[in-house]
A and B are shown apart, each in its own frame.
Chain A
Amino acid sequence: MEELKTISDIAQLGGGIAIGFGAIGAGLGIGVATKGLMDAVSRQPEVAGKAFGFFLLGAALAEACALYAFVIAAKLVGLM
């Protein structure tokens, strides 16, 4: 196995770490959003359609946090 020698090697490692930690937060966020959806639907099944729309919005907002990390990772890896 090769050693990490140059700055760009270490930057790639940093990109991996960045997207990994970002994904933890987004995963927790989407999990909480899904829990809220399940609670709402099991309590009031008639709001399922409306609640799902709000769930998608909230999940998209939570997912955006992982994508901020993705931008940093892409910068570090050199995709951008």
Chain B
Amino acid sequence: MSGHWVHSLIIGGHGYTFNLDTIYTMWFAMAVVLIFAFIATRNLSIIPNKLQAVAESFMLFIWGVLDTMIEKDNRRHVPLVASLFLFILTANLMGQLPLRIIHLKQGELASPTNDLNLTSAMAIIVLVYYVFMGLKKKKFKFFLHELSFTGIISGLVEILEMITRPLSLAIRLFANIFAGEILVTVALGVCAYLLPLPVMLFELLVAFIQATVFMMLTIAYVSSATGDEH
């Protein structure tokens, strides 16, 4: 692990740094998702071809999760949830591509999700989305359910959760991918060619699981924000 390929820029008197490797790999992942979506949804037919079958199985999976966790009016969350799932899956799997062989001046081209900035950005999108959905559904009652002692305490806990939820979402995804890459590097040092293989296979599993976990937690947060009180 040799850090990121950092580009510094001064805009209006403020210094900004850009992790260019993350940005390029993120664009690559976005392009892969876009091209997949474009090709898979062309020439839709009753008898699906292979790519359409794959896309349909993804959609059925996401619909199934949504149906189990949100009771009514759940199809409106599909755009955010499905794009998060597909993007995170693509980004995680990219870490196992031989893209890393390309040597940069500093850093390497690995998964974009091994950068805390990207995962934090996605977690903040989820935060804004579920707070917006909650405010739209329950108006001000989203913060304060009832004007009593327990109501105020639970409202404060709700505000505390607005910090802890995105924090845990971002760090969970980032740490899983980052730890996986370090694990591969360590295994490479112990016994090259032999030991990294099972670790990389395990990382393929982790990529799917983490994409699913991020999506399910997003749905759970939206569900708790828009659902009725229990």
Residue numbers of A with Cβ under 8 A of B are: 56-57, 60-61, 63-64, 67-68, 70-71, 74, 79-80
Contacts and interface: CB of A to CB of B under 8 A. Distances in A.
B172 A67 contact: yes
Contacts of A64: 168, 171-172, 175-176
A79 B175 contact: no
B213 interface: yes
Interface of B: 1, 168, 171-172, 174-176, 178-179, 182, 206, 209-210, 212-213, 216
B21 to A, nearest CB: 15
A52 to B, nearest CB: 12
B143 to A, nearest CB: 27
Interface majority SS (helix, strand, loop, mixed), chain B: helix
A56 B206 CA distance: 10
Contacts of B210: 60
Nearest to A79: B1
Nearest to B1: A79
A70 B181 CA distance: 13
A57 B168 contact: no
A11 B175 CA distance: 20
A53 to B, nearest CB: 9
A70 B175 contact: yes
Contacts of B168: 64, 68
A62 to B, nearest CB: 11
